Amino acid sequence: MANCNSQDLYESIAHCEGQINMPGINRRVYFVPLSAIIAWPTIDRADTQKDGATAKDIQTYKGDFTLKADTKWRFIDVVREKSTVSFEAQGEEGSKSFVNKAEMKVAGTKEDTLAYAALANNSRQVFLVQRSDNKFAVIGSKFFDGAKVNPSGSLGAAATDENATTLSIEAIDFVALPIYEGKIETEDGTIDATTGEPVIGE
Protein backbone atom coordinates (compact mmCIF):
# COMPACT_ATOMS: atom_id res chain seq x y z
CA MET A 1 0.00 0.00 0.00
CA ALA A 2 1.27 3.48 -0.83
CA ASN A 3 2.41 5.58 2.12
CA CYS A 4 0.66 8.85 1.20
CA ASN A 5 1.82 12.08 2.79
CA SER A 6 -1.18 13.31 4.75
CA GLN A 7 0.47 16.36 6.33
CA ASP A 8 -2.00 19.22 6.66
CA LEU A 9 -0.52 22.39 5.14
CA TYR A 10 -3.71 24.42 5.09
CA GLU A 11 -3.78 27.68 7.06
CA SER A 12 -6.52 30.19 7.80
CA ILE A 13 -6.64 33.23 5.51
CA ALA A 14 -7.39 36.38 7.47
CA HIS A 15 -8.23 39.85 6.23
CA CYS A 16 -8.13 42.63 8.80
CA GLU A 17 -10.71 45.38 8.61
CA GLY A 18 -9.15 48.42 6.95
CA GLN A 19 -6.24 46.44 5.47
CA ILE A 20 -5.23 47.82 2.08
CA ASN A 21 -4.21 45.48 -0.75
CA MET A 22 -2.86 47.71 -3.48
CA PRO A 23 -2.94 46.42 -7.05
CA GLY A 24 -0.21 46.52 -9.64
CA ILE A 25 3.53 46.05 -9.97
CA ASN A 26 6.68 48.13 -9.81
CA ARG A 27 7.65 49.70 -13.13
CA ARG A 28 11.08 47.98 -13.18
CA VAL A 29 10.95 44.29 -14.14
CA TYR A 30 14.10 42.13 -14.03
CA PHE A 31 14.93 39.32 -16.44
CA VAL A 32 17.60 36.85 -17.52
CA PRO A 33 17.58 34.27 -20.31
CA LEU A 34 16.86 30.80 -18.99
CA SER A 35 20.17 29.65 -20.46
CA ALA A 36 22.06 32.06 -18.17
CA ILE A 37 20.90 30.32 -14.98
CA ILE A 38 23.38 27.76 -13.62
CA ALA A 39 21.46 26.88 -10.45
CA TRP A 40 18.01 27.73 -9.13
CA PRO A 41 16.96 28.41 -5.56
CA THR A 42 14.86 25.59 -4.17
CA ILE A 43 11.11 25.44 -3.76
CA ASP A 44 9.13 22.53 -2.28
CA ARG A 45 6.20 20.94 -4.04
CA ALA A 46 3.00 20.39 -2.08
CA ASP A 47 3.25 16.61 -2.51
CA THR A 48 6.82 16.28 -1.21
CA GLN A 49 6.66 18.04 2.16
CA LYS A 50 8.59 16.98 5.24
CA ASP A 51 7.51 17.22 8.87
CA GLY A 52 7.32 20.79 10.11
CA ALA A 53 6.63 22.30 6.69
CA THR A 54 4.27 25.27 6.35
CA ALA A 55 2.16 26.65 3.53
CA LYS A 56 4.88 29.26 2.87
CA ASP A 57 7.33 26.48 1.96
CA ILE A 58 5.42 25.63 -1.22
CA GLN A 59 5.11 29.28 -2.24
CA THR A 60 8.60 30.64 -1.55
CA TYR A 61 11.99 29.99 -3.13
CA LYS A 62 14.87 29.40 -0.70
CA GLY A 63 18.39 30.55 -1.58
CA ASP A 64 19.67 32.53 -4.56
CA PHE A 65 19.83 32.23 -8.32
CA THR A 66 23.33 31.39 -9.58
CA LEU A 67 24.05 32.95 -12.96
CA LYS A 68 26.81 32.39 -15.48
CA ALA A 69 29.99 34.43 -15.01
CA ASP A 70 29.57 38.11 -15.90
CA THR A 71 25.79 37.70 -16.22
CA LYS A 72 23.54 40.06 -14.28
CA TRP A 73 19.81 40.54 -14.00
CA ARG A 74 18.88 43.20 -16.55
CA PHE A 75 15.74 45.31 -16.38
CA ILE A 76 12.84 46.48 -18.50
CA ASP A 77 11.00 49.62 -17.44
CA VAL A 78 7.31 49.11 -18.16
CA VAL A 79 4.26 51.37 -18.10
CA ARG A 80 2.94 50.44 -14.67
CA GLU A 81 -0.69 51.43 -15.24
CA LYS A 82 -0.87 49.31 -18.42
CA SER A 83 1.05 46.24 -17.25
CA THR A 84 -0.64 43.32 -15.53
CA VAL A 85 0.35 40.04 -13.88
CA SER A 86 -2.15 37.21 -13.46
CA PHE A 87 -2.48 33.44 -13.03
CA GLU A 88 -4.96 30.67 -13.73
CA ALA A 89 -5.22 26.93 -13.14
CA GLN A 90 -5.00 24.49 -16.02
CA GLY A 91 -5.23 20.74 -16.64
CA GLU A 92 -7.28 17.82 -15.37
CA GLU A 93 -7.77 16.82 -11.74
CA GLY A 94 -4.72 15.01 -10.44
CA SER A 95 -2.46 16.69 -13.01
CA LYS A 96 -3.30 20.37 -12.57
CA SER A 97 -0.79 23.20 -12.66
CA PHE A 98 -0.82 26.98 -13.07
CA VAL A 99 -0.16 29.34 -15.95
CA ASN A 100 1.49 32.51 -14.68
CA LYS A 101 1.01 35.40 -17.10
CA ALA A 102 2.15 38.97 -17.62
CA GLU A 103 1.28 41.66 -20.13
CA MET A 104 4.13 44.16 -20.04
CA LYS A 105 3.61 47.45 -21.85
CA VAL A 106 6.87 49.14 -22.86
CA ALA A 107 6.72 52.73 -24.04
CA GLY A 108 7.93 53.20 -27.61
CA THR A 109 9.39 51.00 -30.29
CA LYS A 110 13.03 52.03 -30.09
CA GLU A 111 15.84 49.86 -31.37
CA ASP A 112 16.75 48.46 -27.96
CA THR A 113 13.15 47.41 -27.32
CA LEU A 114 12.75 45.77 -30.71
CA ALA A 115 16.13 44.05 -30.35
CA TYR A 116 14.96 42.51 -27.07
CA ALA A 117 11.74 41.43 -28.78
CA ALA A 118 13.76 39.69 -31.51
CA LEU A 119 16.02 37.91 -29.00
CA ALA A 120 13.28 36.88 -26.57
CA ASN A 121 10.93 35.76 -29.33
CA ASN A 122 12.81 32.47 -29.65
CA SER A 123 14.48 32.30 -26.23
CA ARG A 124 12.97 31.25 -22.90
CA GLN A 125 13.32 33.85 -20.14
CA VAL A 126 12.85 34.15 -16.37
CA PHE A 127 11.36 37.30 -14.84
CA LEU A 128 11.31 38.86 -11.37
CA VAL A 129 8.33 41.17 -10.94
CA GLN A 130 8.04 43.36 -7.84
CA ARG A 131 4.52 43.44 -6.44
CA SER A 132 2.96 46.46 -4.75
CA ASP A 133 3.86 44.94 -1.36
CA ASN A 134 7.56 44.93 -2.46
CA LYS A 135 7.76 41.13 -2.74
CA PHE A 136 9.21 39.67 -5.94
CA ALA A 137 7.22 37.12 -7.92
CA VAL A 138 9.01 34.67 -10.24
CA ILE A 139 7.56 34.10 -13.69
CA GLY A 140 9.32 31.09 -15.19
CA SER A 141 10.07 27.65 -13.74
CA LYS A 142 13.03 25.35 -14.23
CA PHE A 143 10.61 22.41 -14.33
CA PHE A 144 8.80 23.86 -17.36
CA ASP A 145 11.64 25.62 -19.23
CA GLY A 146 11.18 29.20 -18.06
CA ALA A 147 8.73 31.59 -19.68
CA LYS A 148 7.68 32.18 -23.27
CA VAL A 149 7.65 35.76 -24.57
CA ASN A 150 5.38 36.86 -27.43
CA PRO A 151 6.15 40.46 -28.45
CA SER A 152 3.81 42.73 -30.36
CA GLY A 153 3.58 46.45 -30.96
CA SER A 154 2.37 49.40 -32.94
CA LEU A 155 3.81 52.69 -34.15
CA GLY A 156 0.37 54.27 -33.94
CA ALA A 157 -1.06 56.73 -36.47
CA ALA A 158 -2.86 59.77 -35.08
CA ALA A 159 -1.20 62.13 -32.62
CA THR A 160 -3.22 60.62 -29.77
CA ASP A 161 -2.41 56.98 -30.66
CA GLU A 162 -0.06 54.79 -28.69
CA ASN A 163 3.47 53.99 -29.87
CA ALA A 164 4.36 51.01 -27.71
CA THR A 165 5.60 47.43 -27.45
CA THR A 166 3.73 44.72 -25.57
CA LEU A 167 5.47 41.67 -24.12
CA SER A 168 3.01 38.84 -23.51
CA ILE A 169 4.62 36.39 -21.09
CA GLU A 170 3.43 32.91 -20.08
CA ALA A 171 4.99 30.31 -17.81
CA ILE A 172 3.71 26.99 -16.50
CA ASP A 173 4.43 26.34 -12.81
CA PHE A 174 3.34 24.17 -9.90
CA VAL A 175 2.26 27.24 -7.93
CA ALA A 176 0.79 30.65 -8.69
CA LEU A 177 3.43 33.40 -8.82
CA PRO A 178 6.00 31.97 -6.37
CA ILE A 179 7.93 34.44 -4.21
CA TYR A 180 11.71 34.95 -4.37
CA GLU A 181 13.53 36.15 -1.23
CA GLY A 182 17.16 35.87 -2.31
CA LYS A 183 19.61 38.33 -3.85
CA ILE A 184 19.17 40.00 -7.24
CA GLU A 185 22.56 40.80 -8.73
CA THR A 186 21.97 43.61 -11.22
CA GLU A 187 24.22 45.82 -13.34
CA ASP A 188 23.73 48.57 -10.74
CA GLY A 189 24.40 46.46 -7.63
CA THR A 190 22.73 43.78 -5.53
CA ILE A 191 19.13 44.02 -4.34
CA ASP A 192 17.68 42.19 -1.33
CA ALA A 193 14.46 40.69 -2.68
CA THR A 194 12.90 40.56 0.80
CA THR A 195 12.92 44.36 1.01
CA GLY A 196 13.52 45.60 -2.54
CA GLU A 197 16.43 47.66 -1.20
CA PRO A 198 20.08 47.66 -2.31
CA VAL A 199 22.49 45.49 -0.32
CA ILE A 200 25.10 47.80 1.20
CA GLY A 201 28.67 46.88 0.30
CA GLU A 202 27.77 44.68 -2.70
Q: Looking at this protein, which amino acid is placed at residue 93?
A: E
Q: How far apart are CA 74 and CA 181, in angstroms?
A: 18
Supply the pTM of this predicted model.
0.93
> What's the pLDDT band for 6 if we cut at 50, 70, 90?
low
In 3D, which of 140, 138, 144 has the Cα closest to residue 184?
138
pLDDT tens profile 76-117: 999 999 999 999 999 999 899 999 999 999 999 999 999 999
149-167 residues labelled b (16+ CB within 10 A) or e (exposed): bebebeeeeeeeeeebbbb
The DSSP-derived string for 14-59 is ---TT------B-SEEEEEEGGGEEEPPB---GGGPPTT--GGGGT
3-state secondary structure of 170: strand
Measured torsion, CA atoms of residues 40, 101, 26, 65, in degrees rounded to the nearest 10: 0
pLDDT tens profile 8-29: 788 898 989 998 889 999 999 9
Residue with the bigger pLDDT between 192 and 1: it is 192
